[in-house]
Amino acid sequence: MSTHVIIQMSERASTMDVREVSVLLRGEPEPINRWIRTASAPRTALYVAVIVAGTGIYGAAMGCWRQPLQGLYTAIKFPLIVLLTTLGNGLLNAMLAPLLGLNIGFRQSLQAVLMSFTVAAAILGSFSPLLYFLVWNAPPLAAHVSGVYPIIRLTNVAVIAFAGTVGCARLGQLLGRLSDNPAVGRRVLFAWLTVNFLLGSQLSWILRPFFGSPDLPVEFLRANAFQGNFFENLLQALQQLF
Partner 1 sequence: MGATPPRIPTGSWAGYQAAPEPLGTNPVERTPIQGVIGAVEAILRQPRRVMFQMKQPNAGGLIISLLAIAVVCSLVYGVVVGTFSGAQQYWAAPVKIACGMLISALICLPSLYIFACLSGSQARLAEMFGLVAGLMALLTVLLIGFAPVAWVFSESTHSVVVMGSLHLAFWFVAAIFGLRFLHAAFCHLNAKTSGGFQVWVAIFLLVALQMTTALRPLVGKSDRFLPAATEKKFFVQHWLDCVATDPTWNETPPKAPRQDAQN
Q: Which of the residues 17 through 46 are near partner 1 (CB under 8 A)?
A: 22, 25-26
- Smallest separation (angstroms) from partner 1 to the CB of 200: 23
**Residue 49 binding partner 1, by CB under 8 A:** no
- Smallest separation (angstroms) from partner 1 to the CB of 146: 11
Taking CB under 8 A as the criterion, the residue among 42, 68, 105, 140 binding partner 1 is: 140
Cα–Cα nearest to 65, from 176, 152, 159, 5: 152
CA triple 137-127-77, angle to 5 deg: 95
Closer residue to partner 1 (CB): 139 or 182: 139
Site string for partner 1, 108-137 (x = CB under 8 A): --------------xx-xxx-xx-xx--xx
| Residue 10 dihedral angles phi and psi, to the nearest 5° | -70, -30
**Residue 143 binding partner 1, by CB under 8 A:** yes
- Smallest separation (angstroms) from partner 1 to the CB of 115: 14
CA dist 145 → 63, 149, 174, 201, 228 (Å) = 18, 8, 45, 29, 31
Closer residue to partner 1 (CB): 22 or 233: 22
Give the separation between CA 30 and CA 54, rounded to whole angstroms. 25
- Smallest separation (angstroms) from partner 1 to the CB of 4: 9
- Smallest separation (angstroms) from partner 1 to the CB of 23: 9
Give the separation between CA 26 and CA 178, rounded to whole angstroms. 17
Q: Which of the residues 147 through 186 are near partner 1 (CB under 8 A)?
A: 151, 166
Alpha helices of the chain — where are they, by DSSP H? 3-12, 20-26, 29-37, 41-63, 68-88, 90-99, 106-137, 148-179, 182-206, 230-241
Q: Which residues bind partner 1 (CB under 8 A)?
A: 2-3, 22, 25-26, 122-123, 125-127, 129-130, 132-133, 136-140, 143, 151, 166
